Structure 1
Amino acid sequence: MGPLTPDNYELVLGLICFFLIFGVLGKVLLPRIERLLAEREDVIVGGAARAEAAQAEAQRVYEEYRAELAAARQEAAQIRQTATEQGAAFLAEVRAEGQQQRDELVAAVKVQLAADRVIAEAELREDVVQLAVELASRIVGEPLGDLPRTRAVADEFFERADQAAGEVQGSGAHA
């Protein structure tokens, strides 16, 4: 027999080995290969599905974050507005209180100045009377301070001076 025609024995032995190997491959290796391919497909397809699910979850979380951020910004704007209004009200209150204190202080100072003016005017009038009596006593050459009429003359003089000053102030106010 030639190289192209095999022996029956070799042919049968080759066919048995072929079917034996084919059977082992079909029963043992092919299920494993199919399981591996199914696992890979699950990993690939399932991974894509899980990735899409994760992406959808991430998008949902992002939208929630944006909504919370917008709400926080709006709340911050309201807080700023409230604080501005409260600050303006507080400032107005402080200004009014300061104005009231200033007015009270000015009124108290005016009263004190008027009282000081009256006291100073009384002291000055007394000094003027004493100086006038002393000067008149020097001119006349006799002491005039003991005369009862001296005080009446001085009071009459100051009364006329006050009336004249009142008329001048009254006409100055009308002009």
Structure 2
Amino acid sequence: MTSVHIAAGGDDISGADLFFPPLYDIVWSAVVIAIVFFAFWKWILPSFKRVLDERAEKIQGGIEKAERVQAEADAALAEYQQQLAEGRAEAARLRAEAQEEGKQIIAELKAQANAEAERITQAAHAQIEAERQQALVSLRQDVGELATELASRIVGETLADDARAAAVVDRFIADLEASQASGAAAKE
């Protein structure tokens, strides 16, 4: 067997006693462990617990805040999508109104253009009629002068009297119109 000699006491320790310390070491070690355990339990463990509780509260508060922010973001997104849908519907309605207004404006402008064209056509017809009447009066006068001059040459006397000349011209034109009217009636 192996034996260990302890220098201070001079006792020899052998066998299983090598693994077991003396009783006084166990007692004093237990007292020190109890004091350290009591200090740890009394001061250090509550500090750890307080720090862990604060962290848990911060984390829980952060989670609640994140959930609240997420809910607000979801609500804002839903509101945005609703406003976007309303905006699109409003834009479609405005587009339809603008197209309808455009059609009405085009119809009004066409009606105005047709009315203006009709007015211009009527004015042109009136002007043509006035010019025709003026040409007819001028033609009667010229034909009258030519007829008077021709009649003066045929008759051999001067028809300078305006009243006689006018009567001769009117009779000649009436005869001419009557012959034209009978010719037109014969063609039909």
Structure 2 length-normalised TM: 0.71
Report % sequence identity.
35
> Which region of structure 1 is more displaced relative to structure 2, 69-78 or 100-109?
100-109
Aligned residues: 172
The code of the aligned residue for 1:5 comes to: P
8 Å CA contact retained: 2:148, 2:168: no
Deviations 1:107-153 (A, max 9, x none): 22222221121112101221222233335545666533437543323
Q: 1:5 aligns with which of 9, 18, 21?
A: 21
Q: 1:26 aligns with which of 22, 41, 53?
A: 41
Match in the other structure for 1:134 = 149
Match in the other structure for 1:67 = 82
Is 1:54 the equivalent of 2:69? Answer: yes
Q: Map residues 1-175 of structure 1 onto 2, 5 A cutoff.
A: 5-6=21-22, 8=24, 11-137=26-152, 142-146=157-161, 148-166=163-181
The code of the aligned residue for 2:172 comes to: F
Q: Which has more radius of gyration?
A: 2
Structure 1 unmatched runs, 5+: none
8 Å CA contact retained: 1:137, 1:143: yes
8 Å CA contact retained: 1:133, 1:150: yes
CA RMSD, Structure 1 to Structure 2 (Å): 3.2
Structure richer in helix, relative to its length: 1
The code of the aligned residue for 2:92 comes to: A
**Shift of residue 36, structure 1, vs aligned partner:** 2.3
Structure 1 length-normalised TM: 0.75
Deviations 1:37-78 (A, max 9, x none): 233333444433432332232122211111121112112211
Q: Supply the distance in 2 between the matched residues of 1:92 and 1:119 (Cα, whole angstroms).
A: 40
SS of the equivalent of 1:143 reads coil
8 Å CA contact retained: 2:148, 2:159: yes
Structure 2 unmatched runs, 5+: 1-5, 7-12
Match in the other structure for 2:10 = none
